A = this chain, B = another copy of it.
Amino acid sequence: MDAAEIRQFLEGSGLRCTPQRFAVMAFLTEHNRHATAAEIFEAVNRVDPRSSRATTYNNLRDLVQAGLVREVAVEGRGARFEAIGVPHHHFVCDHCGNVEDLEWYDVPKPAGGSLGKRVVRECELIFRGLCSNCAQRSASG
């Protein structure tokens, strides 16, 4: 995604394309690695213009509300964010904590009736275990 597209995305969602907001969105589209707010704050502050911590949090909140960014549900201390792109599932490594993308495939919904009156908007599938690196290391260790 290039700069013009990011600008269009933001303005199409009713958000001004400020340099700070653009920087957050650009970082998330360039680096698909489920970054924490702290990592994003640090990354956007390595380039001008700088962004305060509050603004980084504010912009992440705005981008999530606008549906351009998703907060990934993982246990642990800091929330993690990713730009919404193609649908996919997640793999979380027990050992190193890395969150990796898995190719999307359809997941069966719960059997009729067991949902009751609930209204489903989306589903998220998370696998846990050892990532490639950690699996190899523990096999050879």
Contacts and interface: CB of A to CB of B under 8 A. Distances in A.
Interface of A: 71-75, 79, 89, 91-92, 94, 100, 102-103, 105, 107-108, 110-111, 114-132, 135-136
The 9 closest A-B pairs by CB, nearest first: A121-B129, A117-B132, A120-B129, A119-B130, A124-B126, A71-B75, A119-B129, A73-B75, A119-B135
A123 to B, nearest CB: 5
Nearest to A117: B132
A54 B119 CA distance: 39
Give the number of copies in the complex: 2
Contacts of A115: 91, 102
A124 B127 CA distance: 6
